[in-house]
Structure 1
Amino acid sequence: MVRVTGARRGAARRTEGPVLDDIDRRMVAELQRDGRLTGRALAERLTISRANAYARLARLVDDRVVTGFTALVDPDKVGLHTSAYVTLTVRQNSWRELREQLRAIPEVRHMALVGGDFDVLLLVRTTGNDALRSVVLERLQALPTVVSTRTILIFEDESR
């Protein structure tokens, strides 16, 4: 959704997506710290009514500012002992098709279309080096739109 708002008299500024106020931004920050917060806890932390907190949260979800609530886990503790960034160089105009193919590979935990020396950046998490090798050599390189891959092994990582 695109909104046009008056920045100053006679001028218009184009913004993408919904317009967020300070309370919305604070609510998003609180949810990023703890996605399990109740509406009541949000209301208390933001010093707004519970009805206001629930309405704002519903609007943020409806507007797809908040796109989901998820648990962050330690990959090592769930058996995913090897992680790597894998870069892909792909045939031009193949992103939409490739994105669907990558979504079918459960080891691909994050994907991004990027600009620069390569076209796609993937975060891949596997049970070990053999599984990583299999994902890269047998699954990613087998995709018809993938021209080349490069693998960067992660020794330690920290999510925020």
Structure 2
Amino acid sequence: MNPPALDAYSLKLLIELQRDSRQTVQQLSEAVGLSATPCWKRIREMEEAGVITGYSAHVDPEQVGLALNVMVGVNLAKHSDDVVQRFEDAVKADPNIVRCVSTTGETDYVLNVLATDVKHFERLLQGTIVRLPGVTHVHSSIVLREVKSTSVLPIDDLIPRGAGGAGPLPRRRPAPKT
């Protein structure tokens, strides 16, 4: 399926929804310069097309007891379809692995693992990660400090300049944390 063509209004809606997805349709329509009905229709179309994949709350891992953040590099013995599929399925099933990307270079995959403490991570490492299908080598790095973490996409630069009603939204303060 081809992604839908997103004009300046749709891109502005995405910027606003990334900033605060709890806004009403009326608030969104005022922010982007559309009336409420076309605004709602655009949001629905982007949801149906898979542009908008969901809405969620951002939770501070430390505040819920997941204070240890570990980046884990994993290498697989072979890259057959079966081994890769079994590895990826096992990763998807583990809630402590919050992110997994397939990479080029020295590491086949990089996992982002959250744990309560080092002992918890050690149990995950020995009991789960090294036992994942096809794993031959694992190296881990404990995150000392997170410098930047965002799920906000840099959409501002995609908005065409000068088209009717187009152009970037004025910079607004982020929504207050609640």
TM-score range, shorter chain: 0.7 to 0.9
Establish whether residue 113 from structure 1 lines up as the match of residue 99 from structure 2: no
Among all aligned residue pairs of Structure 1 and Structure 2, give the percentage whose two residues are the same amino acid: 25
Establish whether residue 101 from structure 1 lines up as the match of residue 90 from structure 2: yes
Establish whether residue 92 from structure 1 lines up as the match of residue 82 from structure 2: no
Establish whether residue 42 from structure 1 lines up as the match of residue 28 from structure 2: yes
2:70 and 2:50 map into 1 onto residues whose CA distance is 29
Change (3 A) 1:95 1:31: farther
1:151 and 1:35 map into 2 onto residues whose CA distance is 35
Q: Which has the higher contact order (CA 8 A, sep 6+)?
A: 2
Q: TM-score, normalised by structure 2?
A: 0.78
Q: Where does the alignment leave 5 or more consecutive residues of structure 2 unmatched?
A: 151-178
Q: CA deviation at 1:96?
A: 2.4
2:91 and 2:101 map into 1 onto residues whose CA distance is 11
Which portions of structure 1, spanning 4 or more consecutive aligned residues, are displaced by more than 6 angstroms? none
Q: CA deviation at 1:31?
A: 1.2
Contact 2:74 2:138 (8 Å CA) reproduced: yes
List per-residue Cα deviations over 1:44-83 (Å, max 9, x = no partner): 1001011011101101110111101011111100100100
Q: CA deviation at 1:107?
A: 0.4
List per-residue Cα deviations over 1:63-115 (Å, max 9, x = no partner): 11110101111110010010011111112133322121111111011111121
Q: Which has the higher strand share?
A: 1
Establish whether residue 75 from structure 1 lines up as the match of residue 65 from structure 2: no
Contact 2:25 2:39 (8 Å CA) reproduced: yes
Q: TM-score, normalised by structure 1?
A: 0.86
| Secondary structure of residue in 1 paired with 2:128 | helix
Change (3 A) 1:95 1:23: farther
RMSD over equivalenced CA pairs, Å = 1.2
Q: Where does the alignment leave 5 or more consecutive residues of structure 1 unmatched?
A: 3-16
Q: Which residue of 2 aligns with 1:156?
A: 145
Contact 2:86 2:133 (8 Å CA) reproduced: no
Q: Which residue of 2 aligns with 1:27?
A: 13
Number of aligned residue pairs: 146
